[in-house]
Amino acid sequence: GQNIDQPTEMTATEGAIVQINCTYQTSGFNGLFWYQQHAGEAPTFLSYNVLDGLEEKGRFSSFLSRSKGYSYLLLKELQMKDSASYLCAVLDSNYQLIWGAGTKLIIKP
């Protein structure tokens, strides 16, 4: 079966750094996406990794290791507006997105 695991909830402090992990077991791999979703809103695209390594985009970075079936999203200089759910999704061999359950990130002042 196909499976994507990420923590259900994490808490961090404003101004700090947080790393959200995602592990996956899928039938094939054509890339991994991270999306941000605020409560009551649709997901918005954050990053896409298809090759191993770190992709940096402002305060957000995403890392991928295909051999380990592992990715993380790193958020720096946390702001209160970063409180949201972060969804990890893998594009499988049929180019279908397999979604993780999401990680709810709570930012405290």
37: alpha, beta or left? (left if phi > 0; alpha if psi -120 to 50): beta
In angstroms, rounded to a whole number, what is the distance separating the alpha carbons of residues 68 and 84? 27
69 lies in the binding site for other proteins (CB under 8 A): no
Residue appearing with tokens 């994490």: 10
Task: Closer to other proteins by CB, 46 or 76: give it.
Answer: 46
Does 44 bind other proteins (CB under 8 A)? Our answer is yes
16 vs 50, beta carbon nearer other proteins: 50
Interface with other proteins, residue 91, by CB under 8 A = yes
Please report which helix (H) or strand (E) contains residue 61, including its range. strand 60-65
Asked if 48 touches other proteins (CB under 8 A), the answer is yes
Distance CA 48, CA 81 (A): 22
Contacting positions for other proteins (CB under 8 A): 30-31, 33, 35, 40-45, 48, 85, 87, 91, 95-97, 99-102
